[in-house]
């Protein structure tokens, strides 16, 4: 293991963070707010830590899988750590635990917050908060790779270490091309949404920060009442559109842009994802109609926004879902677990794995009826290798086990069962709001300190898709070759 | 990049981290000093003035009771002195307005006090008012109470502002300490990384070079040391390699 090489690549991630902290401090000068020194000093410290390894360590174009994995995990961890600096230097209401929770929630695009009065924060700090979503949304290392010139084999190793194992199966492009597609679609969607939100009345700052949150499927808003503040069906519709788009595999969006619309509709995962969202909206609208909202328009408006917000792991709110009927809440929990497609910025188990699980279940039934039959699983006409099916089912099993263990720990430290469970699935799926006091109109400020640490671990577990996180903390694994 | 620049950059970075944190902490401590001064100048002095006004009012009330009892000389002496103290402190408070709403409160006190004063300014001893407790309880005492209440409200107004400023001070003290803590932790981590890199890129190659030279001296083993960096160590290794080759060639020639 060449730690000096690891240091050099992690330093690049720190420089990206420093750059955004620098922009935030410029905003602070412009607004003459109180966060200038916290942001400037954070930018300076992060930049110095980023620059020094670049001065000392010569570039290496070849890195091993182990090094790639360590670079990815350390980049996430150190980005979250340096991301706390502006908060803890700013002071009240940020203790170290609160700052860590807010930073991890930002980078992992969870969108859970400890803040009860978001609007009391200076604009510059709100920009930094939204930036953490945007940096983390595409993946810190992918962000770094997309702004750097070609790095050779190292780029391929880092790309494979960063992206979800499900995406790896779906991306049929070379690493460089895939990074360009991801970055291009990401930037394009962000710019388009910013422009669209501005057309419908948002100011530039709010439009940009909400676009950062939407495209990264994060959920941080610059307003206490989240999207409810605007009370605008037009703004909600734009956000719904971009949330749905951000939940689709970016390569498929790229296909559409390049004129290959057939690829888009041929994808069974996308068809399932869109159908699930539609079905969820209809079911919840029917359930809340009369009970919560008097007319069908309001029922569909709020059902669609909230189900898509949760189902894409964004976490914006336009209604207090904690008072919705139990049927709607259970549906929201299902979407919080499932989330959107692999290859997007979404978290959760991912629609791809749910499709595989369903197909695997049908295959099992067929095998029970015809024990000697060879029944391959096909997705979009292609046979899926058994290893991938096994890994996906295993992933779902481990995912749910972690949800169970984390909920248990939260209950042990005194949290209510509903809040413990919904808080865990919301943070593990990088969705954001849970139910009860941590619901769409509440915040995580009242969660005990130990609970915030447990939930920040689940956020990282969800974002790094479990295996990378565990391998990083099991020293014995470093002796073996890593294949996950 | 040469070693001198690498090492220098390390020390510059370390110094920069500590320097900026130091300057920022000093700035925050300075502003804490200013806030404390503000509390003393603005709020504490206003509170003190209001409390003195309240005491003066109490003394005036006692003096009125003395006048009602027929003690003209002592009663008037106390009234004159208390009135002077009250007006002096009211003027001071009017010139030291620092809290939103303070001006309005002072105007109210002034109006109420004038109305109160109008009752006892006129002679009491030797008039129908002397010994008339009904007049005292019906007219004088309610006006006294309303002025006193307004003065107490002024104290409360400044108390609240003092508490708010103190809370800001608490946050500022956190801000003054935090850069220091962050700088110390960052400097420690940085020193660790710096030492690791110095060891990896400077100390270790020197040890390797020394070992290879010794091996060459002992057994004429070819001098081969891989240096990753293009700095003085790399050129030193290259020079030694040439030297070893020359020595080996000379040995072969002999």
- Tell me if A441 sits within 8 A of A400, measured CB to CB: no
Rounded CA gap, B84 and B248, in Å? 108
Contacts of B1 in chain A (CB under 8 A): 55
Contact A52 B201 (CB under 8 A): no
Please report the pLDDT score of residue A172 as a whole number. 58
- Residue ranges of E strands in A337-478: 377-379, 382-384
* Closest approach of A14 to chain B, Cα-based (Å): 14
Which of A238, A253, A247, A249 has its CA nearest to residue A312?
A247
HSE-CB of A359 using CA atoms within 13 angstroms: 24
Task: Tell me whether residue A5 is exposed, middle or buried, using C-beta atoms within 10 angstroms of its C-beta: 0 to 12, 13 to 18, 19 or more.
Answer: buried
Contact A7 B186 (CB under 8 A): no
Render pLDDT for A32-47 as a digit per residue (tens, 0 to 9).
998 999 999 999 999 9
What percent of chain A lies above the pLDDT cut of 90? 59
A142-156, A261-275, B157-171 — most confident range? A261-275
- Tell me if A18 sits within 8 A of A50, measured CB to CB: yes
Task: Tell whether the model's pLDDT for residue A302 goes beyond 70.
Answer: yes
HSE-CB of A448 using CA atoms within 13 angstroms: 13
Please report the pLDDT score of residue A343 as a whole number. 81
Q: Once rounded to an integer, what is the mean pLDDT over residues A195-218? A: 95
Contacts of B230 in chain A (CB under 8 A): 58
Contacts of A91 in chain B (CB under 8 A): 171, 174-175, 178
Contacts of A56 in chain B (CB under 8 A): 6, 10, 197, 201
- Residue with the bigger pLDDT between A2 and A417: it is A417
Render pLDDT for A453-475 as a digit per residue (tens, 0 to 9).
999 999 999 988 888 778 777 76
Kindly provide the ipTM of the predicted complex, given to two decimals.
Answer: 0.81
* Closest approach of B188 to chain A, Cα-based (Å): 12
Task: Tell whether the model's pLDDT for residue A87 goes beyond 50.
Answer: yes
Strand A382-384 relative to strand A377-379, pairing = antiparallel
Contact B230 A58 (CB under 8 A): yes
Task: Tell me whether residue A171 is exposed, middle or buried, using C-beta atoms within 10 angstroms of its C-beta: 0 to 12, 13 to 18, 19 or more.
Answer: buried
| Peptide bond before residue A93 is cis, with ω within 30 degrees of 0 | yes
- Residue with the bigger pLDDT between A378 and A196: it is A196
What is the CATH number that goes with domain B3-187? 1.20.120
Return the structure tokens found at B106: 């002072």
Task: Tell me whether residue B237 is exposed, middle or buried, using C-beta atoms within 10 angstroms of its C-beta: 0 to 12, 13 to 18, 19 or more.
Answer: buried
Taking the Cβ of residue A259 and every Cβ of chain B, the question of whether any pair is shorter than 8 Å is answered with: no
**Using CB atoms and an 8 Å cut-off, which of residues 1-20 of chain A contact chain B?**
3-4, 7
Taking the Cβ of residue B207 and every Cβ of chain A, the question of whether any pair is shorter than 8 Å is answered with: no
Which of A299, A195, A285, A295 has its CA nearest to residue A238?
A195
HEC-encoded secondary structure of chain B: CCHHHHHHHHHHHHHHHHHHHHHHHHHHHHHHHHHHHHHHHHHHHHHHHHHHHHHHHHHHHHHHHHHHCCCHHHHHHHHHHHHHHHHHHHHHHHHCCCCCCHHHHHHHHHHHHHHHHHHHHCCCCCCCCCCCHHHHHHHHHHHHHHHHHHHHHHHHHHHHHHHHHHHHHHHHHHHHHHHHHHHHHHHHHHHHHHHHHHHHHHHHHHHHHHHHHHHHHHHCCCCCCCCCCCCHHHHHHHHHHHHHHHHHHHHHHC
Q: Once rounded to an integer, what is the mean pLDDT over residues A150-157? A: 68
Which of B105, B124, B10, B2 has its CA nearest to residue B63?
B124
> What is the distance of C-alpha B192 from the center of its chain?
32
Please report the pLDDT score of residue A481 as a whole number. 46
Which portions of chain B are predicted below pLDDT 50?
A: none
Which of B193, B194, B195 best tests the A interface by mutation, with the highest count of A CBs <10 A?
B193
Please report the pLDDT score of residue A477 as a whole number. 59
- Tell me if B75 sits within 8 A of B130, measured CB to CB: no
Which of A266, A328, A330, A269 has its CA nearest to residue A303?
A328
Domain boundaries, chain B: 3-187, 192-253
**Does the CA dihedral A184-A186-A190-A196 come out positive or negative?**
positive
Rounded CA gap, A253 and A198, in Å? 23
* 3-class state of residue A145 by DSSP: helix
Number of separate helices (H) and strands (E) present in chain A: 21, 2
């Amino acid at each position: 293991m060449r730690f000096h090489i690891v240091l050099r690549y992690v330093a690049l991630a720190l420089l990206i963070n420093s750059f955004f902290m620098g922009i935030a401090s410029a905003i602070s000068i412009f607004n003459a707010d109180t966060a200038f020194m916290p942001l400037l000093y954070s930018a300076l410290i992060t930049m110095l830590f980023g620059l020094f390894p670049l001065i000392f360590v010569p570039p290496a174009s070849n890195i091993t899988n182990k090094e790639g994995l360590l670079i990815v995990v350390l980049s996430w961890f150190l980005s979250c750590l340096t991301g706390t600096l502006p908060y803890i230097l700013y002071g009240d209401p940020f203790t170290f635990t609160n700052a860590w929770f807010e930073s991890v929630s930002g980078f992992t695009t969870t969108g859970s917050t400890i803040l009860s009065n978001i609007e009391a924060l200076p604009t510059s700090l709100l920009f930094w908060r939204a930036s953490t979503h945007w940096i983390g949304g595409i993946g810190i290392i992918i962000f770094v790779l997309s702004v750097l010139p070609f790095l050779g084999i190292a780029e391929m190793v880092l790309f494979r270490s960063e992206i979800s194992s499900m995406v790896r199966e779906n991306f049929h492009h070379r690493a460089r091309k895939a990074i360009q597609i991801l970055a291009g679609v990401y930037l394009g969607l962000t710019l388009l949404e910013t422009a669209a939100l501005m057309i419908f009345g948002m100011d530039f700052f709010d439009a940009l920060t909400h676009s950062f949150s939407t495209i990264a499927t994060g959920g941080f808003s610059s307003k206490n009442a989240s999207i409810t503040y605007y009370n605008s069906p037009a703004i909600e519709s734009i956000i719904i559109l971009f949330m749905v788009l951000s939940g689709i595999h970016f390569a498929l969006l790229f296909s559409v842009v390049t004129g290959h619309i057939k690829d888009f509709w041929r994808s069974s995962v996308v068809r399932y994802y869109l159908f699930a969202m539609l079905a969820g909206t209809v079911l919840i609208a029917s359930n809340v109609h009369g009970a919560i909202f008097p007319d069908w328009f309001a029922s569909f408006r709020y059902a669609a926004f909230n189900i898509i917000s949760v189902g894409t792991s964004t976490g914006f709110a336009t209604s207090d879902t904690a008072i919705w009927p139990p049927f709607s809440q259970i549906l929201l929990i299902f979407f919080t677990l499932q989330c959107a497609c692999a290859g997007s910025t979404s978290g959760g188990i991912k629609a791809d794995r749910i499709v595989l699980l369903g197909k695997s279940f049908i295959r099992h039934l067929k095998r029970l009826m015809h024990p000697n039959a060879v029944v391959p699983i096909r997705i979009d006409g292609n046979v899926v290798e058994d290893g991938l099916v096994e890994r996906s089912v295993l992933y779902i099993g481990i995912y749910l086990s972690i949800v169970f263990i984390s909920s248990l720990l939260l209950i042990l430290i005194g949290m209510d069962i509903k809040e413990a469970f919904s808080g865990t699935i919301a943070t593990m799926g990088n969705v954001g709001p849970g139910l009860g006091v941590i619901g769409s109109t509440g915040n995580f400020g009242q969660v005990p300190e130990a609970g915030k640490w447990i939930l920040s671990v689940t956020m990282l577990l969800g974002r790094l898709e479990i295996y990378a996180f565990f391998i990083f903390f099991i020293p014995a694994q470093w002796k073996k070759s890593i294949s996950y | 990049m040469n070693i001198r620049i690498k090492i220098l950059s390390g020390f510059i970075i370390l110094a920069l981290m500590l320097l900026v944190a130091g300057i920022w902490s000093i700035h925050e401590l300075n502003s804490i000093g200013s806030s404390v001064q503000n509390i003393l100048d603005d709020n504490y002095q206003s509170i003190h003035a209001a409390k003195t006004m309240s005491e003066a009012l109490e003394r005036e009330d006692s003096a009125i009771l003395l006048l009602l009892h027929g003690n003209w000389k002592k009663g008037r002496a106390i009234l004159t002195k208390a009135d002077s103290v009250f007006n002096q402190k009211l003027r001071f408070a009017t010139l030291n307005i620092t809290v939103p709403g303070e001006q309005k409160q002072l105007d109210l006190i002034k109006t109420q006090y004038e109305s109160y004063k109008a009752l006892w300014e006129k002679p009491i001893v030797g008039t129908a008012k002397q010994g008339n407790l009904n007049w005292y309880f019906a007219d004088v005492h309610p006006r006294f109470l309303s002025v006193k209440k307004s003065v107490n409200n002024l104290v409360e107004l400044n108390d609240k502002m003092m508490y708010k400023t103190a809370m800001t001070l608490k946050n500022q003290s956190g801000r003054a300490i935090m850069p220091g803590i962050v700088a110390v932790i960052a400097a420690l981590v940085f020193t660790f990384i710096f030492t690791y890199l110095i060891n990896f890129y400077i100390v270790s190659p020197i040890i390797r070079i020394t070992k290879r030279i010794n091996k060459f001296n002992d057994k004429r083993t070819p001098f081969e040391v891989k240096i990753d960096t293009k700095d003085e160590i790399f050129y030193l290794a290259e020079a030694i390699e040439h030297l070893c080759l020359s020595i080996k060639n000379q040995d072969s020639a002999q």
